[in-house]
C-alpha cells in the first residue's frame, strides 16, 4: 500500500502563525475497513476560517487537534472503495486532510462531474466561497439599484463574487483590497465602481467619504477591525451588514474592541448578521443554478492563485493571512 504525505498541526499559534505550527509526515495508508474509501487528493482549498480552528477556542466548528492532520475542502479521485456509494474513479469533493491521500467514511463527500469545470473551480467560484458570497449578498445585504454596497477583501475568494453580485443587482459597489493590482482588477474586470488599497490609504474614513458620499447601505464584511469601524460609522438608515469574517483580527493576541457608539444600531435601525454557510446547504442547488448560469453567460469573473505541491501549503496559508493571494487560493497536490 502507498504511503501518504500529510501536514499536521504541530503546535497552536500565539499571535501570527509561523512554520513551527506545522509538521510534515509520511504515513502508511491502512487497509480499508467496510464502508471506507481512499481518496487521492488533487486540489486543497486554503481559507481564512482555518486560522481560528488552529486555536483552542469554542467556535462553530471544532478546533484542529495538535498532532493530527489539518483538514480543508478538497477535490480528489476515489482510488479504492469499500463503500457502496462510491466507486473507483469517482471524483469527489468535501472536507479531507491536508494530505496526498485520505481514508474516509464517505460522510459529507459528494460526487462531482469533472467535465463541468476545471477542478479548482469547484473549490472556488462553484464552491463554498462563492456560495458564501451568494448567500450573504442575496439573503442579508440585499442590495438594489440606487444603493451603495461595500465589500472588504474585494478580490478575495468570497469578495470577488460578492461585489459582482451587488453590481448585477444594480447597486454602486465600492471595495478595498491589499494592492494596487488587485484594485485595478476589481474595477476593470469585476465591475467595481471604485476600490482602494488599504495598505496605502490609511485614513479609511476619509477615503470612504470620498468614494461613498451618499453613505453605505450594504456591507459584506470579510476584514473587520478598523476598516469595519469606518464602514459602521457611515451606514445609512436601515443598512445591512453580512458578517462573513474578520481576517484582520484572526491573529490578534487580545480581542479588539468593537466600533464606538453602538447605539447607532438602534438610531439607524441597522441589521448586523453573522452567518456560517454550512447552515444553508439546502440552498446549494439554487446557488449552483444561479451562479452557474452567470458563469456560462460570461457575466461573472474569478481569479485563482494555485500553489504547486502540498509541502508549500503552510507557507501559502501564512501568506493568505497577510493578504498575499489574489482571488481563491488553492494548492495543487502532488501525489
Residue range 195-224, pLDDT digits in tens: 999 999 999 999 999 999 999 999 999 999
Beta bridge partners of 78: 39
pLDDT band at 253 (very low <50, low <70, confident <90, very high): confident
DSSP-assigned letter for residue 147: -
Neighbours of 188 (CB within 10 A): 10
268 vs 250: which has the higher pLDDT:
268
pLDDT at 135: 98
From the list 252, 242, 198, 243, the residue with the least C-alpha distance to 51 is 252
Q: What number is the average pLDDT over the span 118-138?
A: 96
pLDDT at 54: 96
DSSP-assigned letter for residue 32: P
pLDDT at 1: 53
Rounded Cα distance, 280 and 244, in Å = 13
Q: What is the pLDDT of residues 27-37, one digit of tens each?
A: 999 999 999 99
128-278 belongs to CATH 3.40.50.720: yes
Q: Phi/psi at 292 (nearest 5 deg)? A: -60, -40
Query: What CATH number was assigned to the domain covering residues 3-124+303-332?
Result: 3.90.180.10
pLDDT band at 56 (very low <50, low <70, confident <90, very high): confident
Contact between 205 and 184 under an 8 Å Cβ cutoff? The reply is no
Question: Domains of the chain: which residue ranges?
Answer: 3-124+303-332, 128-278
Greatest distance between any 2 Cα atoms in the chain = 65
pLDDT over 80 at 307, yes or no: yes
190: helix, coil or strand? coil
Amino acid at each position: 500500500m502507498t504511503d501518504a504525505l500529510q501536514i499536521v498541526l504541530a503546535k497552536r499559534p500565539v499571535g501570527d502563525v509561523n512554520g513551527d505550527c506545522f509538521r510534515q509526515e509520511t504515513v502508511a495508508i491502512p487497509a480499508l475497513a467496510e464502508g471506507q474509501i481512499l481518496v487521492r487528493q488533487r486540489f486543497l482549498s486554503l481559507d481564512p476560517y482555518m486560522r481560528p480552528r488552529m486555536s483552542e477556542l469554542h467556535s462553530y466548528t471544532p478546533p484542529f487537534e495538535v498532532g493530527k492532520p489539518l483538514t480543508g475542502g478538497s477535490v480528489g479521485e476515489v482510488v479504492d472503495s469499500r463503500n457502496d456509494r462510491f466507486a473507483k474513479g469517482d471524483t469527489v469533493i468535501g472536507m479531507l486532510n491536508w494530505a496526498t491521500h485520505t481514508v474516509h467514511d464517505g460522510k459529507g463527500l459528494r460526487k462531482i462531474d469533472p467535465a463541468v469545470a476545471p477542478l479548482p473551480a469547484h473549490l472556488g467560484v462553484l464552491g463554498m466561497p462563492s456560495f458564501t458570497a451568494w448567500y450573504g449578498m442575496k439573503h442579508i445585504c440585499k442590495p438594489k439599484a440606487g444603493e451603495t454596497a461595500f465589500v472588504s477583501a474585494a478580490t478575495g475568494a468570497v469578495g470577488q463574487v460578492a461585489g459582482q453580485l451587488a453590481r448585477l443587482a444594480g447597486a454602486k459597489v465600492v471595495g478595498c483590497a491589499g494592492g494596487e493590482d488587485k484594485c485595478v482588477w476589481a474595477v476593470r474586470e469585476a465591475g467595481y465602481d471604485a476600490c482602494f488599497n488599504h495598505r496605502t490609504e490609511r485614513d479609511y474614513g476619509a477615503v470612504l467619504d470620498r468614494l461613498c458620499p451618499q453613505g453605505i447601505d450594504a456591507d459584506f464584511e470579510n476584514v473587520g477591525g478598523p476598516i469595519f469601524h469606518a464602514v459602521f460609522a457611515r451606514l445609512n438608515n436601515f443598512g445591512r451588514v453580512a458578517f462573513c469574517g474578520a481576517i484582520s483580527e484572526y491573529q490578534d493576541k487580545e480581542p479588539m474592541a468593537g466600533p464606538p457608539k453602538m447605539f447607532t444600531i438602534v438610531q439607524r435601525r441597522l441589521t448586523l448578521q453573522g452567518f456560517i454557510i454550512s447552515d444553508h446547504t439546502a440552498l446549494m442547488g439554487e446557488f449552483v443554478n444561479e451562479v452557474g448560469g452567470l458563469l456560462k453567460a460570461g457575466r461573472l469573473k474569478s481569479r485563482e492563485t494555485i500553489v504547486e505541491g502540498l509541502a508549500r501549503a503552510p507557507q501559502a496559508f501564512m501568506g493568505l493571512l497577510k493578504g498575499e493571494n489574489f482571488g481563491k487560493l488553492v494548492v495543487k497536490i502532488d501525489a
